[in-house]
Amino acid sequence: MEYRMEHDTMGQVRVPADRLWGAQTQRSLTNFEIGTETIPGEVIRAFAVLKSACAHANHALGRMDERMASAIEGACGGILQGDYPLEFPLKVWQTGSGTQSNMNVNEVIAHIAAAKDPGLKIHPNDHVNMSQSSNDTFPTAMNVAAVCALSDYLYPALDRLVATLKRLEEENRDTIKIGRTHLQDAVPLRFSQEISGWRGMLEEDRRMLTEASDHLRDLAIGGTAVGTGLNCPEGFDRLCADRISGLTGEAFRPSKNKFHALTSKDGYVFTHGALKALAADLMKIANDVRWLASGPRCGIGEIQIPANEPGSSIMPGKVNPTQCEAITMIAVQVMGNDAAVGFAASQGNFELNVFMPVLALNMIQSIRLLGDGMASFEKNCIRGLKADRGRMEEHLKNSLMLVTCLSPSIGYENAAAAAHKAFEENTTLREAVLAMGFMTGEEYDERVRPELMC
């Protein structure tokens, strides 16, 4: 392999000749050979948006000439187009401020710009990082990345899943089934009502995510090292936020309190908490689906879900609820990520949180997994879900909890006695009520009408 020499304030460093990064990136690669997790691509793209916005603002405020600003913005555009996928190799397990990743982006942008304009003297710190610090750029990039990831990955998948559930509601408005509480028989309800509960959870989760993530739209940019804005011109934060909004199509604003923005990651905790709520609801929905689909002959079997692949290497013909299992594993991972986010956000020592790369990793992973998981769950499971109306009717007629509608007529204790008698003697509820003389057959048939109970 061929190398070239790059230098920083600590001296010279040998860098692979075909790479666009510089000395500080290379030092990080050497010093942090830890794990396989690299800074998420969403954060790198957010950095490219941010650096472009900063160049634009510096030019607008008279700190940078048009040639330099244009070169930086052009280099950022190439990164956003995916032209340099191998130039951002740094691990998550680095400095907690993300300084090395900020410099990785600065160095790559400087080399791209210099290559396209050979006469341009561009420095990663003096020019690409002008009016900035890693301490305000990394929290800005991680916020922008999270907001955009929600819009790009998560909301579209969530909305499709909700739309499919709405269709299933319409298709099953006349389907009555037995309800279950404590895993025991309960009173009847319409299958559409059960589905509406699933839909309502997801719609509420979306509202909570929208409200929580609004806190991520407050950006730290302009705070520089400790929140005072040293070396940053007045109005820079507003110009950057406006430019970022224009480039992403998402509304961002400068944080009113940069000291809070640099040291606290409470917005991340709040937003990830809403992701955990979504994960909890998806866990519940997937568990409901696989319980209701259990069987095919020795389980509940009230719904049928698509048979996508063989379920066993030893039992021929077995098919498993694999999409449900995938989404529940995702839910477990997101819940674990939430614990990491909470712990990391608590480490805002003095003027800076120094757990930002791991915060970004967990947030982006949760959003990706939930988005991909819901897309797969909708496409490969929920879309093909069908009610087994015969099985539902069989369970409905066999349920003892239909006796609930008789309580107003014969009293709670008499109704309970009839239910116990039917269970112990393995008869129908109707037979037990008539045998105990609580009602005539005609009265029973008039009162016990499941369609009126739901």
Hey, what are 402's tokens?
């239909």
Name the one residue in this structure whose structure tokens are 């589905």: 195
Rounded Cα gap, residues 147 and 214, in angstroms? 8
Closest CA to 385 of 297, 315, 286, 318: 286
Q: Which of 59, 123, 134, 312 is catalytic?
A: 312
Q: Is 294 an annotated catalytic residue? A: no
- Look at residue 401 and give its three-state secondary structure: helix
For residue 447, count other CB atoms closer than 10 A to its CB: 17
Closest CA to 254 of 140, 138, 97, 99: 140
Contact 336, 330 (CB under 8 A): no
Contact 27, 14 (CB under 8 A): no
Strand 253-254 with 218-219, pairing: parallel
- In the chain, the largest separation of any two C-alpha atoms, in whole Å, equals 102
Closest CA to 265 of 333, 363, 331: 363
Rounded Cα gap, residues 25 and 13, in angstroms? 10
For residue 414, give Cα distances in angstroms to 18, 404, 417. 85, 11, 5
Q: Is 182 an annotated catalytic residue? A: yes
Classify residue 274 by its DSSP letter.
H
* Residues tagged active-site: 182, 312
